[in-house]
């Protein structure tokens, strides 16, 4: 059960790194990597640790940042479903 898919924090074994496609750029890389790991039947686990995230607010700059994240995630979903 993965709760923080977009945290950006990953530890990968070499055998996983050797077969995962890292060609996706931007904020979609976390989702793309996770999808590839699941499709290739590797084990995946979430490990809790103390971490302070720079929370975004509701300014125009922050909303644009969130829009870029959404764009990248939708792109990955489109590419992975199509492929």
Q: What is the pLDDT of residue 83?
A: 66
Predicted local distance difference test score (pLDDT) of residue 67 = 93
- The span from the CA of 70 to the CA of 68, in Å, is 5
Give the tens place of pLDDT for each residue, 50-78.
Answer: 777 666 678 999 899 889 999 999 999 99
> What's residue 18's pLDDT?
92
CA distance 80 to 32: 8
pTM assigned to the model:
0.76
pLDDT band at 27 (very low <50, low <70, confident <90, very high): confident
27: closest CA among 67, 81, 64, 72? 72
pLDDT at residue number 24? 84
């Amino acid at each position: 059960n993965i709760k923080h898919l977009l945290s950006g924090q990953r530890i990968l074994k070499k055998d996983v790194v050797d077969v995962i496609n890292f060609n996706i750029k931007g904020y979609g890389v976390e989702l793309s990597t996770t999808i590839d790991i699941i499709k290739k039947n590797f084990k995946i686990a979430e490990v809790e640790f103390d971490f302070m995230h720079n929370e975004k607010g509701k300014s125009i700059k922050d909303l644009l940042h969130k829009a870029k994240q959404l764009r990248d995630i939708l792109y990955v979903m489109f590419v992975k479903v199509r492929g």
